[in-house]
Amino acid sequence: MAKQEDVFKKVVSHAKEYGFIFPSSEIYDGLSAIYDYGQNGAELKNNIKQYWWKAMVQMNENIVGIDSAIFMHPTIWKASGHVDAFNDPLIDNKDSKKRFRADVLLEDYCAKLEDKAQKEIEKAAKRFGDSFNEEEFVSTNPRVLEYRQKQKTILERLAKSLTNNDLADVKSLIEELEIADPDTGSKNWTEVRQFNLMFGTKLGAASESATDLYLRPETAQGIFVNYLNVQKTSRHKLPFGIAQIGKAFRNEIVARQFIFRMREFEQMEMQYFVPPGTELTFYEEWKQKRLNWHLALGLGNENYKFHDHEKLAHYANAAADIEFKFPFGFKELEGIHSRTDFDLSAHEKFSGKKLQYFDNERNESYVPYVVETSVGLDRLFLAIFSNSLKDEVLEDGSERTVLSLPPALAPVKAAILPLMKKDGLGEYAEKIFDDLKFDFNLIYEEKDSIGKRYRRNDAIGTPFCITIDHDSLVDNTVTIRDRDTMKQERVAVADLRRIIDEKVNFRTLLSQI
Ligand code: GAP
């Protein structure tokens, strides 16, 4: 089995074993691509939301946050283009009866070509050592050039076929490249068809009068239809932004890779309303701001890259993804889109209500343009979780598994561990717990050896373990152990709040953006 798959398997099993993520409805054998967050997962997820909300809403004077309903008027999805164009091209394998996204089969083929190019580069880097000039190598090596040119040709043809809705050509491309079902090797494919990703449901009790609704496939439309309400009540001038965190639903054709692609997931989106003609400047600005926000997490700058879109969605005049190096390769984490005035203009047309802004400086009314930043909360969770999970061999040869989460995001900030329950140690530890619980999420554990308790807390990413022993009763000091360095220090109980806070406070994280 490939190493990448081993790493990913470990991520999935660790998430389950330590109460982060469970398959939904597991006792009924689960539901495909739906997951529940357990006690530690819910905390980590909430902390990620806080990091986003504080950076987006609290730290930007001209951005406000809302919470709109999941159910929305069905005409909204007609106006937004989702009824007609929110499709994925699907293809079935006639032998395995498995369903695939035709574009993903082609993109995966290109990713393999890129892997081959990377291997050539790595080989050359080893061969030439310090004198290796990567830039020169990639622009002259015939094999690297060939792999890259082939990818470019395929992706350009795919983008053109999808734009022209030429699905027969997408199938021809799959056949020409002899792409097979990755699991069975069969090349016996059906035609490529479009498949709408929205889930439908009904509003109302009587079947004859019930209205057809959709579960929202993005949170953004809840922002657009509230644009005027928010602008008027907040009295913000352009440019200003509206942010929202909430659930979205998509009937994904291929929903593998754990919480990377789910059918029910959460998005953290922000729409930035700007005067027409300025949108591309703000688009570049937000690309950089969002990248900086990710980099501040300290997961490694080399794990992020931009991918500028060749094929633009029906609403965009520029778009890019921030990609992250997941255990299965670089994939989209966040999208930044310049959405023009498409959405607001469409809602004006379909609702018959004016959604204009009067610009005092320009002395004119217009429909604002929009730059959007949209990140999947679950995908971000997976990025942070998988990157933080490490197996370490210690100096004495023993091993530990540690989840080195950014401390502000850790589900539990400190574990309060009396060496034993008796001799008054339990009571003393409970007092410390009761004092610190107003500031931090803590756990109290008195079972098992201290070593085992340390390991359990390392595995859920607890930044500090605080051990109470007999000396604590005499001199009011405890041992505090740092998750990452494993160093233990004797400190006064009175200093605990300050020591923990310095490390886990959101300020420490936010000030690095
Ligand atoms: N409002 C724009 C929009 O929804 P998108 O690129 O379709 O754009 C934005 O989605 C982000 O939402 C993606 O970058 C990804 O992080 C997340 N996302 C999309 N589909 C997802 C799914 N099925 N499961 C988990 N996250 C998803």
Of all protein residues, whose CA lies closest to atom 2 belonging to ligand 1? 374
Is residue 490 marked as binding?
Answer: no
Q: Which atom of ligand 1 is nearest to the CA of 261?
A: 24
Q: What is the pLDDT of residues 91-144, one digit of tens each?
A: 999 999 999 999 999 999 999 999 999 999 999 999 999 999 999 999 999 999
What residues contact residue 392 under an 8 Å CB cut-off, 6+ apart?
399, 400, 401, 402
- The pLDDT of residue 140 is 95
What residues contact residue 460 under an 8 Å CB cut-off, 6+ apart?
18, 19, 20, 40, 403, 410, 411, 412
Residue 269 CA to ligand 1 centre (angstroms)? 10
Is residue 430 marked as binding?
Answer: no
For residue 312, what pLDDT band results from cuts at 50, 70 and 90?
A: confident
Q: What is the pLDDT of residues 21-61, one digit of tens each?
A: 999 999 999 998 999 999 999 999 999 999 999 999 999 99
- The pLDDT of residue 13 is 97
- Rounded CA separation 10/20 (Å): 13
Of all protein residues, whose CA lies closest to atom 21 belonging to ligand 1? 261
For residue 1, what pLDDT band results from cuts at 50, 70 and 90?
A: very low
Is the model's pLDDT at 174 over the cut of 90? yes
Q: Which one of 267, 338, 375 would you pick to mutate in the ligand 1 pocket, going by the greatest count of ligand atoms within 8 A of its CB?
A: 267
For residue 333, what pLDDT band results from cuts at 50, 70 and 90?
A: very high
Q: For ligand 1, say whether the CB of 261 is within 6 Å of any of its atoms.
A: yes
Q: For ligand 1, say whether the CB of 101 is within 6 Å of any of its atoms.
A: no
Q: Which strands, in side-by-side order, build the sheet including 99-101? A: 99-101, 87-92, 193-196
Q: Which one of 76, 265, 343, 377 would you pick to mutate in the ligand 1 pocket, going by the greatest count of ligand atoms within 8 A of its CB?
A: 265
Name the percent of the chain lying above pLDDT 70: 100
Q: For ligand 1, say whether the CB of 374 is within 6 Å of any of its atoms.
A: yes
Q: For ligand 1, say whether the CB of 343 is within 6 Å of any of its atoms.
A: no
Longest dimension (CA), the chain: 80
Is residue 72 marked as binding?
Answer: no
Of all protein residues, whose CA lies closest to atom 7 belonging to ligand 1? 218
If you average pLDDT over residues 176-184, what whole number do you get?
94
Residue 82 CA to ligand 1 centre (angstroms)? 14
Of all protein residues, whose CA lies closest to atom 14 belonging to ligand 1? 334
Q: Which atom of ligand 1 is nearest to the CA of 263?
A: 23
Q: What's the whole-number average pLDDT of the chain? A: 95
Q: Which atom of ligand 1 is nearest to the CA of 252?
A: 23
Q: For ligand 1, say whether the CB of 332 is within 6 Å of any of its atoms.
A: yes
Q: Helix, strand or coil for residue 322?
A: strand
DSSP string computed for 457-477: HHHHT-SEEEEE-HHHHHHSE
Q: For ligand 1, say whether the CB of 335 is within 6 Å of any of its atoms.
A: yes
Q: Per this entry, what is the length of the chain?
A: 513
Q: Which one of 343, 379, 381 would you pick to mutate in the ligand 1 pocket, going by the greatest count of ligand atoms within 8 A of its CB?
A: 379
SS (H, E, C) 409-452: HCCCCEEEEECCCCCCHHHHHHHHHHHHCCCCCEEECCCCCHHH
Whole-prediction pTM: 0.89
- The pLDDT of residue 258 is 94
Residue 149 CA to ligand 1 centre (angstroms)? 29
Is the model's pLDDT at 2 over the cut of 60? no
Tracing tokens 């809705």 back to the chain, one arrives at 165
* Cα–Cα distances in angstroms (integers) from residue 118 to residues 91, 100, 155, 308, 309, in the given order: 30, 26, 18, 20, 21
Is residue 392 marked as binding?
Answer: no
What the chain holds in terms of domains, given with CATH numbers, is 1-66+197-392 (3.30.930.10), 87-195 (no CATH), 394-510 (3.40.50.800)
Is residue 252 marked as binding?
Answer: yes
For residue 439, what pLDDT band results from cuts at 50, 70 and 90?
A: very high
If you average pLDDT over residues 391-395, what whole number do you get?
92
Q: For ligand 1, say whether the CB of 376 is within 6 Å of any of its atoms.
A: yes
If you average pLDDT over residues 165-181, what whole number do you get?
96
- Rounded CA separation 90/101 (Å): 5
Is residue 5 marked as binding?
Answer: no
Name the percent of the chain lying above pLDDT 90: 91
Contact between 313 and 352 (Cβ < 8 Å) = no
Is residue 260 marked as binding?
Answer: yes
Q: For ligand 1, say whether the CB of 323 is within 6 Å of any of its atoms.
A: no
Residue 376 CA to ligand 1 centre (angstroms)? 5
CA dihedral for 109, 23, 400, 507, sign (positive or negative): positive
Q: For ligand 1, say whether the CB of 252 is within 6 Å of any of its atoms.
A: yes
Contact between 40 and 459 (Cβ < 8 Å) = no
